[in-house]
Chain A
Amino acid sequence: MAEHFDTPMLDELENGPWPSFISGFKRLRDEHPEERIRSVANSLLGQLEHSYETRKGYWKGGTVSVFGYGAGIIPRFSEVDDAFQASKEFHTLRVQPPPGNYYTTDMLRQLADSWEKYGSGLITFHGQTGNIMFIGADTENTQTFFDEINDYGWDLGGAGPDVRTGMSCVGAARCEQSCIDEQKIHRTLQNNFTDDVHRPALPYKFKFKISGCPNDCQNSIERSDFSVIGTWRDDMKVDQEAFKGYLQTKGRQYLIDNVITRCPTNALAITDDDTLAVDNRNCVRCMHCLNVMPKALSPGDDRGATICIGGKRTLKIGDLMGTVIVPFKKLETEEDFESLVEMAEEVIDFWAENGLEHERCGEMIERIGLVNFLEGIGVDVDPNMVNNPRQSSYVRMDEWDAEAEKWFERKAEEAAG
C-alpha cells in the first residue's frame, strides 16, 4: 500500500473520552487483513484531512443505481481523485431498517461480513432520513453488495424526489406510553409505496414517521410529511394508590410545582383526600403528567392516532410543523389500516398532481391554502386543524349558509352514529 497520508488535524480527534470515528477509520487502515480496505481507509483519511485543512468538501454527485431501481444509492465521486485514488468512487447505499431499528447480532454480523467483501467497512447507524448507510462502495460493487443483501431480506431506501425511508420510535415493544402498533403502521404505509421509494417521480421527498404517543420521540411532526402520532380519546387511567405513593416519595409541593401547575390546560388537581382529579374533557394529551408519574397515569383504552401533514425543514419557505388533518383515527381493524393507506394515497396523488418541482407537501399546502388541500384529498374541515379561526375579514363568504348546513349535517350524522 502507498504511504499513509499524514493526518495531523484528524489525529486530534482521537484525543478525549468520546468514541472516535477517526480511530475506527485507522483501525481499518492499519489492521484490516484486506489490502483493498486498508487502501480505501487510507485514501479516505487523506481526503478528509484535506477537507479539514482547506475547510471544503470534495465529493460530487452523479448517477449510479442498481438494476431496476432509480433511487437508493447516493453517488459520490471525488473531486480530488488524483491525490486520493483508492476512494475516488465512494457511493453510499441507503438500506431500510426495520421499524424501531431492532437488530440481532447475527444479522449485524452478516451485514458487516457482506459489506466487508464489497465496501469500505464503514456503516452508519443511522442517517438522518433513517437508513442504514453503507458508506463507500465503487460503482460495480454497489450492485454486487445490493444483490447479496437483497437476497437475505434487505432493500434500498429512498433518495431524491420519492417516498423516503420511514422511521418509528421504540414503540409498543418497550414503552408504556405507546398507543398504537408502530410496527404495523410503519410497514403498512411504507411498503404500500415501495414502487414510489425505488422510482423517483414525485415533486420532491415524502416521508412517513410514526410516534407512539404525543411525546413524539421520533420527531415526526417536524421531520415528516405524514406524521402518525398515537393518542387516546377516553379518560386517562389513574392508579390512585400509585399517585399516593408519588405524593409520599416526591412530596406535595414537588407535585404541585412539577405536575399540577405544569398542566397546560389546568386539568389536574389534588383533592382534599389526596387523590388526583383529572378534567379529561380539557386534557390535551400533552403527556407531561404521564411522563412524571408513569406508575400512576396511563393512556386510556380508546386509542388511535392523530395525523399531521406537511412537516419539513428549511428549504425553501422555512420550517413547517405538520398540521392536524385527522384529529383521531382508530387503527385496529384491517378496514382502519386500509383507510389509512387510502388517505396516504390521496395525499400523495394530490400533491404529485399539484405540487411544483422541488416543493414539499407542506409548502404546497401553504401556497394553495389548507382548505383547497382538504377539498383535494376529500377531508372535511375540523376546528382541531387551527389554533384559532381567521383574523382577517378579507375573504369571500357568500357560500356561508351552505357550508354551515354541511357542518350541521355532519354533526347529525355523528350523533346518529
Chain B
Amino acid sequence: MSEAAAPRPPIESGCPEGFQYMHPAMRRNYGNWAYHEDPQPGVLLHVSKDGQKIWTVKAATQRILDVFTIRKLCAIADDYADGYLRFTLRSNLEFIVTDEAKVQPLIKAITDAGFIVGGTRNSVTTLSHTQGWLHCDIPGTDASGVVKSMMDELIGEFTSWNMPNRVHITTSCCQINCGGQGDIAINVQHTKPPKINHDLVANVCERPSVVARCPVAAIRPALVNGKPSLEVDERKCICCGACFPPCPPMQINDAEHSKLAIWVGGNHSNARGKPTFQKLVAAGIPNNPPRWPEATAIVKRILKTYKEDAKDWERINEWIERIGWPRFFELTGLPFTKFHIDNWRGARASLNSSAHIRF
C-alpha cells in the first residue's frame, strides 16, 4: 500500500515584486518622469527628465477574460508593445511603447481585435464593477451585464474627450457597494424586508452575530413553529440586506422588489475640493436584465445635463455644488422626494441651515 503523499506546504511569498514585470523603459525611469501630454483619446505620452518618451495606449476589455482573449491580448502586446501589459484599477489594459511609429499600428491592432481604445482624460472611462450573479453569493443583480449594456451606449464618451472632467461610473450588486464611490453609481436597493425560511435558520445561521449585524437593531431571536429562529421588526427594517450574507435563509433578493438606485458625486480625488461621497438622486429603477434600459436612460440623462452645464474641470460633485441641488433636479427632470432627505447619523450636516437659496 502506498503512503499518501504529504501535503505540500505553501510558499508564503505574499505580494510579488513588480519591477520584474514592468516595461524596461518604466524600470529605467522609475521616479524620473517630468511631464505628460495627451496626443489623442486613449493615448498618453510621458516624457522623462532626460527626454526619454513612452506612449501608453489604453484599451477597454470585458474584465472577465477567457484564456483565448488573454492570449489574443498577449499576442498584440508581443507584436507591438515589447511583451508588457498593465491593468488599471478599472480593468482597462495599458500597452506601453517606446517608439512613436508603433502607436497607430498598435491602436489598429487593438481595434481590429474588438477592443476599444479610450478612457483617458475627460472621458467616461470603463465602469468599475463587481461580481453579480456570475459568482457572488449575495447579489441582487448582475454587474458584468450592466456594464456591458451601459458601455455599449456610452462608448462614444469612452473614445472622446467631451466631458467637463473625467467621469467614473461604478456598479454594485448589493448595498455593501463593493463597486465603491463614483461620479455616478448604480447600486441595488432592496425595498422589502428579508423573507425568512425559519426551517433553516437554526442550522445555518449563528444567530447572535446576525442580530449584531443589523444596523438598526431590527432583528431578534424568536421561536417560530417550535424552532429557534430569528424575526425582523418590519417597521424598523431598512431592507439593507446586511443580515443576508451571515444568514442565507434571510433572503433579501427579490425579483420584483430589489430595485436599482443611482447616486452621484462620489469623488476620491483631492483635486480642488476634498474627497466626497455620492448622494442619492434616483431610485425605484427596475432591475431589468439583460439590458437594464431604464437605468441606462437615467445615467445618460445625467451625463447629458452635466456635459451641457458643467464648466471645464468640474467633476459631477463640483458642478452640483456650484449650481445647487434644486437646479440639478430641475435640469435632469428627476423627482425630489422625501427619501432624498437623510435621516441617518450625521444627517443634520446635510441640511441647509442658511438663507442661501438660488432663484
Contact = CB atoms under 8 A, between A and B. Distances in A.
B138 interface: yes
Nearest to B208: A357
B100 interface: no
B178 A187 contact: no
B102 interface: no
Contacts of B36: 175-176, 294
Contacts of A51: 133, 142
A102 B115 contact: no
B51 to A, nearest CB: 13
B136 A57 contact: yes
Interface string B174-191: 011111110000000000
B350 to A, nearest CB: 12
Contacts of B213: 316, 358
Contacts of B13: 150, 153-155
Interface SS, B side: loop
B226 interface: no
B351 interface: no
Contacts, number: 357
Contact of B16 (A10, A153, A316): A153
Nearest to A221: B275
Nearest to A136: B135
Contacts of A358: 209, 212-213
Interface string A68-86: 1100001010000000000
Given A100-B86, A126-B87, A287-B271, A316 B242 contact: yes
A292 B37 CA distance: 10
Interface string A180-217: 01010011001100110110000000000000001111
A221 B312 CA distance: 25
Interface residues of B, number: 116
Interface stretch (B148-156, B229-237, B301-309, B332-340): B148-156
Interface string A244-285: 000000000000011000101000000000000000000011
Contacts of A395: none
Interface stretch (A104-112, A337-345, A368-376, A405-413): A104-112
B152 A172 contact: no
A39 interface: no
Most central of B19, B29, B62, B277 by chain A CB within 10 Å: B62
Contacts of B128: 128
B177 A219 contact: no
A122 B23 CA distance: 25
B88 A101 contact: yes
Given A215-B271, A287-B271, A105 B74 contact: yes
A328 interface: no
A46 interface: no
Contacts of A165: 15
Contacts of A215: 269-271
Nearest to B134: A48
Given A59-B137, A102-B86, A105-B84, A68 B64 contact: no
A353 interface: no
Contacts of A317: 215, 345
Interface in A78-125: 90, 92, 96-109, 112, 115-116, 121-125
B10 A68 contact: yes
Contact of B30 (A24, A57, A172): A172
B39 interface: no
B137 A61 contact: yes
A314 interface: yes
30 contacts: A18-B62, A19-B61, A20-B148, A27-B66, A32-B68, A57-B140, A59-B135, A61-B137, A67-B9, A67-B10, A98-B20, A103-B87, A108-B70, A125-B65, A125-B91, A128-B178, A155-B14, A165-B15, A167-B89, A172-B30, A183-B18, A187-B15, A194-B14, A214-B271, A218-B89, A219-B181, A298-B34, A314-B175, A316-B213, A317-B215
Given A128-B179, A294-B35, 7 more contacts: A18-B148, A55-B255, A55-B287, A74-B135, A98-B18, A147-B8, A191-B14
Interface of A: 9-10, 12-13, 15-22, 24-25, 27-28, 31-32, 44, 48, 51-52, 54-61, 66-69, 74, 76, 90, 92, 96-109, 112, 115-116, 121-128, 130, 135, 146-147, 150-151, 153-156, 165-167, 169-170, 172-176, 178, 181, 183, 186-187, 190-191, 194-195, 197-198, 214-223, 229, 257-258, 262, 264, 284-288, 291-292, 294-295, 298, 313-319, 321, 356-358
